[in-house]
Chains A and B, each alone.
Chain A
Amino acid sequence: MRLANVRLERYGPFEALDLPLDPTPGRVNLIVAPNGYGKSVIRRAIGEFLFGIEARTPMTFRFGTEKMRILADVVQDGSVRSLVRRKGNGNTLAVLNGADVSPEDAHRMLGGADETVFRELFGLDTALLRSGGKELIRSQGRLGQVLFAAGGGMGRVRDLLTELERKRDDLGRATARHRSRPIWNALSEWEQAASDLRRVALRPDAWGLLERQAADSAKHLTALLEEQTAAVAERDRLRTIGASRPWLDKLRAAERVRIEAGDAPELDDTFERRWRDALEAGATSSSLALAAEADLLAAGEARSTLSFDPAWLAVEAEIDALPALRGRAQGAETDLPAVERTLAEERARASALRRELGWDEAVALPPAPIVKDAQSRLQQHPKLAAEAATAELRVADAERALAATLAEMAALPPEADVATIPDIARLLHAGGDPAARLEAGRQAVRKAETALQAALAAIPDCPLPETALRTTAAPSDAAMDAAEAALGRAEAALAQAGRDLAKQTAAITAETAKLAALERTAKLPPPDALAAARSHRDAVWLAICGPAPDPLEAVALDRAMREADRIADALIEHGQEVAQAAALRGRLAVLEAERAAAEDSVGQATDGVTDARDALSRIAHAAGGNASDVPALRAFLRARAVAVARHTERDTATTELADVTAHLTGLSRQLAAAMAVELPDISGLGVLLAEADRRTDAARNLTARRKTLSDHAATQRTVLASAATAASKADRTLADWTAQWATAMAALSRPENEAQAATSEALALVEELRATELKCEDAHRRIADMRAAIALLTAKVAGLAALSADWAAMPPIEAADAFQRRLQAERQQAARCADADKRVASATEKLTTSRAASEAAGRTLAGLRAALRADTDEAAELQLQRARSVLAAGRDAAEARRELAVQGGGLSVEVLTERCAETTAEADAARVAAIDAGHAERAASIEAAREASIAAATAMEQAGTGHQAAEAAQRREAAQAVLSRTVEEALVLHATHALLQAALDRQATGADQPLLARIGAVFRTITGGVQAGVKIEDTKDGQTMVALEADGVTRKALDQLSEGTSDQLYLALRIAALEDYAAATTPLPFIADDVLQTFDDPRTTATLEALVALSDRVQVIALTHHAHLGGLVDRLPAGSVHVMRLGG
């Protein structure tokens, strides 16, 4: 595909930039523009036209995204399509003013290339050229990498190889075991974990040992515990005997005492305490009786000196009430004169108010609600009167406004009939100025006719006249594309089949050589040698077994058998080589079959090409042409399509002009009739239209005014009715007020005709009078209360005056105070008399109680003396002492028996006595000391044995529950997993490296000689013959490319080339790759951006020659800022470079 007429709209710095590219094969497009003009923008624009505008393209910096477009004519297969690429989502490529270009169509247009291919192969600038040259040097000429680098900046494949190797070795080199590398570190971990697992895992013998250790520990512990138990028992026995000795002695002593005091009275344990208590009770009760008698005497004497007057206590309630009465009376006497003065003043003020109102004392005050109501009505009256007056004024205003509107309506002129004029005028105005439309139609006809003639002249080699050409049938785009694609596929299939056949042949040759070498080195017999030898042997044997054996046949049989054995031995000895040879033969058979298939494919592909060309020829004849190849047919069809389109356009323009003329004439006739004027010439249609518009506007204005006034009058009528209703309502309200006011005046005892101001003042006086009379009533009530309090106190004091004649003449207040003081004194005296009576009663009771206790104690002592068989207290004491010694001996004997029962270990007194007699206390003590001395040693042994037993049991328990082995196993698994993973990753990296290297080597091997020759030729052209070309050499690293000096013999390794020369070789590789690409599929335009800037003039000219040659197959668009290039172009064949100068 090629581009023509590229246009950038609102893209980058350009609001509109036209690039009139020339798509002609064999012609380079050279765009010369100064630095900073936007050459890189143009390069980017072409890419975005082909593959879409990047979502975040920086080309919006000046005009934004709105209306950003890139337009171009796409020339492909002889046809031209004007396409436009807009910015947006989804499918953004469309035919100009037409439908979207489908993705399939776009893919076909681009020849299957994607943006990466465009960027890597079809784009080249100074930086890429330089880096490509460097890549060539770094590749050291390895052919695979060189070719790959040439194919589109894929020199990074070398980096990929290096990276794969480095990553593999980072995981661990196969030849050196370093723990720092993951593989070897994981292996060490695995070995350590496996060792740990073997070490910590519990084995049956270890478990048996644990069991034996536990059993031995338990047995030893049991023996020690038994020994300890026996020692403790002996010690306890000796301690029992030792502890029994003193108690046996005490028992014997007590028995002796009891025998010696045989006649002493037997007393119980409480007897002596009761004897002592009785003696003490007798003494105590006697002393208490004496003290009670003395107290009784003293209390009686004190009571006889006290007395009080019960008459005062009889009236104590009345006297206690006097203080309250006294307080009220004293307050009344103080306040009474002031209240009496207030009463007199308020009465005088009330009389004055009545006089002012004109009322005598007989006139009753009107109730307060009536007065309040009257005051409220007085406040309402001014507002009601004002509302009635305002309503009247509004009615008058509304009546005046309505009358004015009706008068204006009556003065308007009558309406004219212009109903049809506007519609006709609108039809005439539609489509623009009628005169301009007529002129445009005429111009269109002239232009279409001119274009038609030019298109007809441009049709190449057309045997048919214009009319006959229109009757031919052009193929559809799809049919043409299909036919061309079929031809392309057939040609590609033929090329591929050829390549396949060459590959198969080469593979057969290589495998055959391998087989021959193998048979030669291993001295292998032919494949069927053994079978033949055995067959020969069997044949000889059959001959021997026949009816007439020949003696010589025995010798032949021996030889035949030896030969068969020799071959069999050789086959056995070289079994591996035999197997390899068999595999090679099998492989050769497969390859032969594949070659046969490839040969068939070549034949079929050749037939396909012939068929495809026939189909194209048929298409050309049907379309009226004689073209014999695709470009010519495309060119004919494109020109034919243009001519047919122009013819149609000319016819369309003529028809449109006639239609417009007829349409305008008809409407003019209708308009003149509607306006009742004479029909003008078509040139006077403008004046007629202006008059029609004027009349239409006047009629519209009058109608609008009439409508406005009518609406206004209706509104005013509504306002007038509303004002009249409001005035009537205000009048009624005022009349109601007047009627109710008369009633109120009567209730207030006011004259019926009194002015409202006077009435208002009178109402204020009435309220003041009401307040004054209330104050008088209050003062009068308070005076009556004061006088009653004074009288009550006087009466009470008089009632109590009979108690003492001395106080009858006292003022009531002083008398009340004196009564209270006397009553208090009488109360105190009465309380003292009551206390004296209580002391006498208490002393009498104590005396009676103590005399009774003394008598009881005497009776108890007498009984106890009788029990002691004694007459006196002294004899009783002696008897009591003898009885006490017998009682103590009994207690000692009982205590000794109890202790012996406890300490004696269950032995009877008799047995204990016997055991004690067998030994001595000293001997027993020595024996116990000896046992105690050995106890600590035995206890320590037992504790040690117990710990050992626990430890053994714990070890068994832990052996059953521990995770050590599981932990080690898990570590081993983890290490194995890491090892597996890293080794697999290393293996994959190694295989990836090997696979890539093998593929590159195969590509180099498979590189065809024409391609290499073409690279050399372009290189020679670009260098102006300084370099004769390139040569391929076989080295230990595979095939390597070297450059040839001008003599065509001297070689130079690529890493020995100068910087400029390596750049030129890289450019040669790229040009050859582009041509190779173009041979396989539709190429894109090649854009070379300032790639010549480091070349001198001769090499620049030479390079332009190479680009001109390239442009036969691939459109070349070269961008440069060197204006002098335009001069160099003159050295090239005329018309081979299309120069476009931008930016002045």
Chain B
Amino acid sequence: MPDFRFLHAADLHLDSPLRGLEADVSAPVEMIRGATRVALGHMVDLAIEEKVAFVLIAGDIYDGDWLDFGTGLFFSNQMRRLTHAEIPVFAIRGNHDAANRMTRSLRMPHVTVFEHNHAHTHRLDSLGVAIHGQSFADQAVPDDLSKDYPRPIDGMFNIGLLHTSAEGYAAHARYAPCDIQGLKSRGYDYWALGHVHERQELSQDPWIVFPGNLQGRHIGETGPKGASLVTVAGNRVQSVEHRVLDVLRWTHIDVDLDGVPDEAEAMIRVQYALESALRDAEPRPLAARVTLSGITTAHAVLAADGLRDKILNETHGIPGEHRLWLEAVKLRTRPPVLSARPDNLGRLLTEIDAIAAAPPSDLLGDWLSVLHAKLSEALPKDHPLQTAVTGDLTAIVEQARRRLEAALADHT
């Protein structure tokens, strides 16, 4: 059998909006809006440049609640480029594709899509490759689909194409769960998985790979994103390379300010951290969430209005500043313990701590329900207001406690 290469991608989530840069007025809106499309274009470019034998897409081409048919047409046009380059594409529908009423009816003339009623096999006899796969029929697939995948074909390079949460990742919904041992027991040479957005190599014998998504879409999807380029020689996997295809990079920048005496020192640390993160992301634009933590006497100053602007000011002059946008600034610092003070302030803070530890259910009055009635539809399901209206005030009261701690420390 000839040696060949193939490209394994997953979780394209085309036209899925990038979230979190709205606070930065200088953010590259055009780039953000088209990022998932450009990343797909990069993937097609890579496949053509590397002359791969075929491309695998392990589900979630579209977003579940996405309703624009134009997204499907764009995808189809990109796949047509691969067809013109004589590169076949094999795909399965993931939970998002299955949930999307629009794209379920979309024809994909340039892609071989696996059926959802049972697993079956496509053979590429000229390469000696057998690709086994099954699409999601519905959004919720609680069963282990891999159990019913066909037996490997002797003498061929067998690939399993599967959309699954595998053994469970906290950040991802649990769909078509399976375990590594079960996948290994199928006897395939390569499992091309999708659904988990972080790149994972669950096994190298045989190879079981989540390539991650093509483009990070929010601060929960950090680091380099792309697809896996697989080289097969002598009917065995020789290498699995992660090829970066994203347009914009997301990252967390954690700055420890423990023991920092003043704001100037704090800003020096922030600037150093920003510079380092920008260097790591070169040459891509970087969307960052800056989190300040630690116990510091500068807490009150940092907690005052304008922290975001102060941090933005620290970016001026560092190399690559034009590539940086702030997704958010989170203040997790705390002042030195004030409740230990032997005066009224200390006693008041002790009282505040006691109330915050077990906030009474009527602490916030009817303000909550009045506002919630008007905003519930427009707010995300996990918004603190949605949570608070059910009676869970812990998170919001903790924020309030920190705010008070800072304000009272500042007033001293």
Contact = CB atoms under 8 A, between A and B. Distances in A.
Interface of A: 111-114, 116-117, 120-121, 147-148, 150-152, 154, 156-157, 160, 174-175, 177, 183, 187, 190-191, 197-198, 200-204, 206-207, 959-963, 965-967, 969-970, 972-981, 983-984, 986-992, 994-996, 998-1000, 1002-1003, 1006, 1073, 1077, 1080-1081
B181 interface: no
21 contacts: A113-B343, A114-B341, A151-B345, A152-B345, A160-B411, A174-B374, A187-B375, A198-B67, A201-B67, A963-B33, A973-B22, A976-B380, A977-B23, A979-B378, A980-B383, A984-B396, A988-B403, A989-B403, A991-B399, A992-B404, A994-B365
B379 A976 contact: yes
Interface residues of B, number: 67
Contact of B403 (A197, A202, A992): A992
A720 B15 CA distance: 109
Given A970-B29, A979-B378, A999-B355, A984 B384 contact: yes
Contacts of A961: 70, 73-74, 77
Contact of A965 (B68, B351, B379): B68
A63 to B, nearest CB: 29
Contacts of B348: 148, 157, 999-1000, 1003
Dominant secondary structure at the B interface: helix
B15 A995 contact: no
Contacts of B352: 995-996, 999
B345 A992 contact: no
Contacts of A965: 15, 67-68, 70-71
B400 A983 contact: no
B67 A203 contact: yes
Contact of B411 (A114, A156, A963): A156
Nearest to B74: A960
B342 A963 contact: no
A976 B77 CA distance: 31
A998 B364 CA distance: 10
B17 interface: yes
B390 interface: no
Contacts of A979: 375, 378-379
A875 B69 CA distance: 98
A594 B232 CA distance: 69
A988 B330 CA distance: 14
Nearest to B328: A981
Given A960-B77, A999-B351, A970 B17 contact: yes
A121 B412 CA distance: 11
Contacts of A988: 396, 399-400, 403
A174 B347 contact: no
B214 to A, nearest CB: 16
B69 A117 contact: no
Contact of A201 (B69, B380, B411): B69
Most buried by A among B70, B105, B375, B397: B70
Interface in B291-324: none
Contacts of B22: 973-974, 977-978
Contact of B383 (A959, A969, A984, A1081): A984
A987 B397 CA distance: 9
Contact of B34 (A963, A972, A987, A995): A963
A495 to B, nearest CB: 12
Nearest to A200: B68
B277 interface: no
B370 A175 contact: yes
B255 interface: no
Nearest to B348: A999
Contacts of B342: 111-113, 117, 1077, 1080-1081
B385 interface: yes
Nearest to A986: B371
Contacts of B401: 995
Nearest to B401: A995
Contacts of B354: 1002
A983 B375 contact: yes
Contacts of B345: 151-152, 154
A197 B17 CA distance: 12
B17 A983 contact: no
B301 to A, nearest CB: 15
A983 B371 contact: yes
B400 A1077 contact: no
7 closest Cβ pairs, A-B complex: A151-B344, A960-B73, A965-B68, A991-B400, A974-B22, A202-B69, A992-B400
B364 A994 contact: yes
Contacts of B32: 970
B384 A174 contact: no
A982 to B, nearest CB: 10
Nearest to B360: A998
B334 to A, nearest CB: 16
Nearest to A978: B22
Contacts of A174: 367, 370-371, 374
Contacts of A977: 19-20, 22-23
B76 interface: yes
Most buried by B among A970, A975, A995: A995
A167 B341 CA distance: 29
Interface in B1-29: 15, 17-20, 22-23, 29
A227 to B, nearest CB: 34
B230 interface: no
Interface in B358-406: 359-360, 363-365, 367-368, 370-371, 374-375, 378-380, 383-385, 388, 393, 396-397, 399-401, 403-404
Contacts of A996: 352, 404
A1048 to B, nearest CB: 28
A470 to B, nearest CB: 40
B343 A117 contact: yes
Most buried by B among A183, A200, A970: A970
Contact of A204 (B76, B102, B359, B368): B102
B369 to A, nearest CB: 9
A175 B102 CA distance: 39
Contacts of B108: none
B156 interface: no
Contacts of A177: 374
Nearest to A207: B69
A160 B412 CA distance: 12
Contacts of A976: 378-380
B372 to A, nearest CB: 9
A204 to B, nearest CB: 6
A157 B411 contact: yes
A987 B388 CA distance: 9
B27 to A, nearest CB: 9
Nearest to A175: B370
Most buried by A among B18, B364, B370, B375: B375
A995 B363 contact: yes
Contacts of A1002: 351, 354-355
Contacts of B76: 960
A995 B400 contact: yes
B33 A203 contact: no
Contacts of B344: 147-148, 150-152, 154, 1073
B83 to A, nearest CB: 15
Contact of A969 (B15, B105, B368, B385): B15
Contacts of A203: 67, 69, 102
Most buried by A among B23, B356, B360, B403: B403
B233 interface: no
A183 B375 CA distance: 9
B355 A995 contact: yes
B260 interface: no
Contacts of B341: 112-114, 117
B378 A959 contact: no
Contacts of B71: 965
Contact of B69 (A120, A959, A995): A959
A845 to B, nearest CB: 84
A112 B33 CA distance: 57
